[in-house]
Chain A
Amino acid sequence: MDIVLKIWRQKDQDSTGKLETYTLEEVNPDMSFLEMLDTLNHNLVKQGERAIEFDHDCREGICGQCGMMIDGIAHGPLKHTTTCQLHMRSFCDGQTIQIEPFRAEAFPVIRDLKVDRSAFDRIIASGGYVSVDTGQAPEANSIPIAHHDAEAAFDAAVCIGCGACVASCKNASASLFTAAKISQMTRLPQGREEAGTRVTRMVRQMESEDFGHCTNTEACEVECPQAISVLHIARMNYEYNRAGIFFNKA
């Protein structure tokens, strides 16, 4: 199949970017989307031109490093799928595909399709952990966890930190990302003692970054590669208010 690509090119954070048009012929439908970009880059480099910079690493849908807006949708048209797991069979011969970086003030563009998502790391650093040092752990089976609780915690813990939730949200809110971690920890007995501090600090950190607020449009859940439920946001809000009442000093 032959395709036309309109791709965002931007030299660095301070430069103005624009969409450039490229054509690519004989695309194999079994190629992954990133392999299609590899092929385009190969052609560009062979002509001595700069390759299109994009983030990617594991190409198995688990590291969370890849991600771009494909025809305006984070990670493209296939539901609950990262960009690296998207294949060209999801597109048609002759189609024009528009590719842009994840757009959010909190994710400044580094170059082309690469963005800086370190705000996510700062949110985790503010409290997304159980405060246990190496060596302090009790025997593993001394903390029994009901099967359904472990599974529910898991449903939140699967977040890959790609940022599609932020990119999909009209407010560029990081609520789903933050809530997933808070909700995972809330379902587990470990770290229960610091639950109030955790939720308070993480929410404050989230708000201090350039993310917007959640207005419950639920777009994040629709685009999340791991299909993480917006109900975790409700849980985060509940925990936050609870912390405000019971752990005021946090």
Chain B
Amino acid sequence: MSRILEVRIPDGPLPEKWSNYKAKARLVSPNNRKKLDVIVVGTGLAGASAAASLAEMGYNVKSFCFQDSPRRAHSVAAQGGVNASKNYRNDGDNVFRFFYDTIKGGDFRSREANVYRLAECSASLIDQAVAQGVPFAREYGGYLRNRSFGGVQVSRTFYARGQTGQQLLLGAYQALMRQVSAKKVTLYARHEMLDLVVIDGRARGIIARNLDTGQTERHAAHAVVLATGGFGKIYYLSTLAMGCNASAIWRAHKKGAFMANPSWTQIHPTCLPQSGAYQSKLTLMSESLRNDGRIWVPLQHDDTRAPGAIPEEERDYYLERKYPSFGNLAPRDIASRAAKEQIDAGKGVGPLKNAVYLDFSKAIGEYGKSTITERYGNLFTMYKKITGIDAYREPMKISPAAHFSMGGLWVDYDLMTSVPGLFAIGEANFSDHGANRLGANSLLQACVDGYFVLPYTLQNYLADEIRTPRFDPDSTPFIEVERAVKAQLQQFTDCRGSKTADEFHRELGRELYDKCGLLRSGEGLRNAIRNIRELREAFRHDLLVPGHTDEVNSELEKAGRVADYMEIAELMCIDALHREESCGAHFREEYQTAEGEARRDDERFCYSAAWQWTGNPSEPVLHKEPLVFETITPTVRSYK
């Protein structure tokens, strides 16, 4: 193993590793904790839960978010549910099975010890959320209800109607606000992190811009935690919020934190199809809909009949046909690719022929409309608001869209990046989902990282910091980084070119969808790299940002994010090009079986690719973290 990538997995058999870690982890005594400051960037499930938990322990926390309130972070939009191996259904679930499902779902490209810990801590999360007052769905007897989700054969998903993310986030947000009230957390809403300050090789603070005043600010701390989510928005059209971005992690990357598997993006199968060029996002319809909805396309090409007019025998329920044991609940990467296959074959439906049907008529017939309303009411309402169509009477039209970043900052077992003192949690890191994330594991990972892992591992780091005095944010290292940040902002407004940040972003997004999306090929990726370089060059010279840096300026905010996307996009393509195999969401056309399934190459690619910034976006250095499977044996992933 490369000495640069120290994973630091604890000793012992898999089920004992986390206990062993906790038994040996160093502690900070309560009277020393108040001397230590921690910056947490991001207030989604990972950030809010971490900030609240650390403050409860007695640390001083500064919490940052770019939204106007921490409650708006994009975890709020997660719909379907959160997994936990409680085995309340007595259907054979346990920690090992959950661990195995997740590893297999990720196509054997994640770290055993991290995934096991995720499964192990899952049950505590449900306890914590219920104690906070999160109104999960209940049986009539008052006990918690479960449903099943893609890629598994047990029912381990807990849910709160179609708003599980909202309810979990409000629980974490309320815990955070309780600490704000206790003066253990200082909240900086409408602040965007624009750079990391590293002193003597350790993360010591950030530069943030107050989006209300345009002023940059210097903030110092003993450790910095990034919980800034994923960067699927790089594809422009995605299920993400408009403000989601990669700037915090990318700027940390440029300060020494490695990016791992950046090209692994989950393209979610159940989103609303694009309807026009003005479109700003693609709305996600929860995967939970696949519990009761059946996916089909007309058997005939270019069939323009209304769905109700197509008789049963002229429909192709292709997921049920191709993957009989999982059917409509096949994992996301497989369901998305299968949809693209049908659409590319000319069987797509809708005005742009870019969608497939998701049909509830059978479920409504079986369980009645009221049951379906209770399960998915808000999703049906949302569908109607956006499309004007009543999905109780007519099938939904859905299509794949960029959704979740499995890749992110490389972290060790402690969730610390390659910069000591800089931690990455939730979707911002890379560790648990391998090459494909299972549904309802994302809320779980964010919460487990924030509530149950980071409070131990960060404390283990901070134990060495009790004698480190507070850093002065007016010292030279902070002032220098701030100066560079200001210079870049000034450059954007001074450029006075002819194209807006959105125009550049749209162009970049199209390129990525086309060549680094559901299907990738060596030729396409090489081509994309050339085009991205050209686009980046054009961006440098031809960007148009009206207004000034010292005021509210949303165009300036976008420009900074797009500037980073221009560099990440190339790294994504380099990463996808170097990985000459297909695994999970990464599907290289050259590497597939005769049946069109992914062909993994464990001989050559059983590793995580951690990329180091060199100063030139075209020449990153690759470090390999070999994936060592001590407990399980990677197999060919089959859902047939």
Contacts and interface: CB of A to CB of B under 8 A. Distances in A.
B137 A150 contact: yes
B131 A161 contact: no
Nearest to A29: B388
The 8 closest A-B CB pairs, nearest first, are A144-B142, A129-B174, A137-B131, A137-B127, A125-B177, A125-B181, A134-B53, A111-B552
Contacts of A39: 278
Nearest to B240: A58
A121 B69 contact: yes
Contacts of B241: 57-59, 63
Interface stretch (B32-40, B161-169, B471-479, B508-516): B161-169
A57 B245 CA distance: 12
Contacts of B521: none
A191 interface: yes
Given A134-B49, A134-B56, A137-B127, A63 B86 contact: no
Interface string A93-122: 000000000000000001100101110110
Contact of A30 (B160, B166, B181, B275): B275
B71 A126 contact: no
Contacts of A60: 77, 283-284, 382
A59 B181 contact: no
B242 A46 contact: no
A59 B401 CA distance: 15
A154 B160 contact: yes
24 contacts: A12-B552, A34-B280, A42-B500, A42-B502, A45-B500, A62-B166, A64-B69, A65-B68, A85-B385, A89-B388, A118-B69, A124-B173, A129-B177, A132-B175, A134-B56, A137-B127, A137-B131, A138-B131, A140-B130, A146-B142, A151-B135, A154-B161, A154-B167, A184-B135
A143 interface: yes
Interface string B62-95: 0000011111111011000000001010000000
Q: Which range contains the number of A residues in contact with the other chain? A: 35 or more
A48 B546 contact: yes
Contacts, number: 220
B625 to A, nearest CB: 30
B321 interface: no
A193 interface: no
Contacts of A117: 68-69
Interface string A68-100: 000000000010010001010100000000000
B243 interface: yes
A145 B138 contact: yes
Contacts of A44: 546
A187 B72 CA distance: 24
A131 interface: yes
A35 B551 CA distance: 24
B187 interface: yes
A196 interface: no
Contact of B67 (A57, A85, A147): A57
A171 interface: no
